[in-house]
Amino acid sequence: MCLTRVNTAIGKIRLELTPKINHCWEVPLYVTARGLTTSPIPYKSSIFQIDFDFLAHEMQVIKDNGEIRSIKLRPMSVAEFYQETMTALNSLGIEINIWTTPVEIPDRTPFEQDTKHNSYDPEYVQRFWKVLVQVDRVLKLFRSRFMGKVSPVHFFWGAFDLAVTRFSGRSAPKHPGVPNVARSVMIEAYSHEVSSCGFWPGGGLGEPAFYAYAYPEPEGFKDYAVRPEEAYYNTDWGEFSNAHTTINFSLVC
C-alpha cells in the first residue's frame, strides 16, 4: 500500500463532496494528534470525516450519528484499500463516485487497478507523521505573524507536502501548469500572488526538504538571503530549499 496513493484516494473523496474554496483549499488533509484527517465532510443532511490513525495504524470513517468503520492499515494493494474504503462508506449509507486516477505522479494507474503498490511500514509511517507534527507546529507559528490573507497549514495529498501560503492581494499571471495536473487547477491555485513555504518528505527526484517560493517570482528573489547556511536556491525547482530534515529552517522576512 503506497501512503501517497492512499492519501490521494481519501483526498479525492473530500474533493468530490466539499464545497469549492478559493485556491483549492477544500482538498487538503490536516495534521492531528494521531495522524491525518479530512476534517468534517458534508453529505446530504449529515457530516462524516475520515481519519488516519498512525498510532493504532488504522483508518476510521466517522459519521455524525455515532457509526464508525475501521480499516486496518497494513501491507495490501492500493486496489484492496480502495475497495475496502468504498465498502465502508457504502455500509454507512455514503454513496460516492470519484475519478480514480492519481495526480501529480508519473504512474497514474487507477486505484482499483493498482496491485503493484502494496507495502506499509508502521515504523516509518510513524516517523513521517511525527515530522509532520513538528512542522505543523512551526508553520502555524509562522502563519500567525502575518496579518493579511494566509492559508491554513495544509497537507496536500497530491504533492504530499505540508504548506502554508501568504497572499499579496494582487492578481497573478495565469500559471503555465505542471506535469500530471490539470492546468485549470494550477491557474485556480495561483490566481493571486503568493509566497509559500513548507516541508516535502522527498521521493522521486528529490530529498526531504523545507522549501520556500514565490509566484510569480519577483526580480532578485533567488539572490535573497535565507537561513540556515545550508539553504540554497534550487534552479531546477525555482525555490529555496534545505535538503535536511531539521525544523531550524527560516526565511529572513
Residue with cell 495534521: 31
Mean pLDDT over residues 222-237, rounded? Answer: 88
Higher pLDDT, 246 or 184: 184
Give the residue-averaged pLDDT of 135-146.
Answer: 97
Q: What is the mean pLDDT of residues 43-52?
A: 98
Q: Average per-residue pLDDT in the chain? A: 91
Cα–Cα distance, 166 to 42 (Å, whole number): 27
Q: Is the pLDDT of residue 156 over 70?
A: yes
- Average pLDDT in the 182-209 region? 88
Tens of pLDDT, residues 6-22: 999 999 999 999 999 99
**Residue 236 confidence (pLDDT):** 85
Answer with the residue of higher pLDDT: 76 or 204: 76
pLDDT for the residue numbered 203: 65
Mean of pLDDT values over 104-112: 91
CB 26 within 8 A of CB 38: no
What number is the average pLDDT over the span 168-189?
A: 95
Dihedral over Cα of 181, 183, 185, 190: its sign: positive
pLDDT tens digits, 36-46: 999 999 999 99
Q: Does position 24 have pLDDT exceeding 70, yes or no?
A: yes
pLDDT in tens, 69-92: 999 999 999 999 999 999 999 999
CA distance 11 to 96: 13
93: pLDDT strictly greater than 70: yes
DSSP string for 22-72:
GGGTTS-BEE-SSEEE---EEETTEEEEEEEETTTTEEEEEETTS-EEEEE
pTM, full prediction: 0.91
Please report, to the nearest 10 degrees, the dihedral formed by the alpha carbons of residues 110, 114, 120, 124 taken in order. -50
What does the pLDDT average to over 166-175? 97
Amino acid type, 99: W
DSSP H or E run through 191: none
The tally of CA atoms less than 13 A away on the side-chain side of residue 115 is 1
User: Which of 66, 65, 63 has its CA nearest to residue 40?
Assistant: 63
pLDDT at 251 exceeding the cut of 80: no
pLDDT for residue 246: 41
Q: What is the arithmetic mean of pLDDT over 202-217?
A: 83
Q: Which three cell numbers stand for residue 171?
A: 492578481
C-alpha cell at 185: 487547477
